[in-house]
Amino acid sequence: MRATNDEITRVAGSTLSYPLCGLLFCRCGARFCRSSSPASKREYLSVCGCRLRPLDADNIERLVHAEAVSRALGAATLGRSVKTPEVLFHLYSRIEVGGTVEDVRFVRRM
């Protein structure tokens, strides 16, 4: 079962306006922080200089949410009731982004 784009967008925009704060890092180790563009677009920004542009918040949140949904569905099949944001913070100590938004590495908690 796959989440629809509407479900992903609704979850990404709910409660916290930047749900990946504290988990999102550049590959060099610098933390991404919340930002916005003049066009009132939500973004994640790192001041390390590795990336020429900030991350579009909607794009990275969709990608991360899809990963979390797949993990949550796996947990649900084991008989546990787990919410998607809880899965992210439980499974991953950080989410690292490389040169493109598709270049994402999920670092598991030990």
pLDDT at 106 over 50: yes
Tens digit of pLDDT for each residue in 39-80?
Answer: 778 999 998 988 888 899 999 988 888 877 776 666 554 455
Q: What is the pLDDT of residue 69?
A: 74
* Number of other residues whose CB lies within 10 A of the CB of residue 102: 10
- 41/57 Cα distance (integer angstroms): 8
For the question of whether the overall pTM of this predicted structure is more than 0.85, the answer is no
Query: Would you say 27 and 96 are in contact if contact means Cβ atoms under 8 Å apart?
Result: yes
Q: What is the pLDDT of residue 72?
A: 62
> Kind and range of the H or E element at 58?
helix 57-77
Residue 30, phi-psi category: left (phi > 0), alpha (psi -120 to 50), beta (remainder): beta
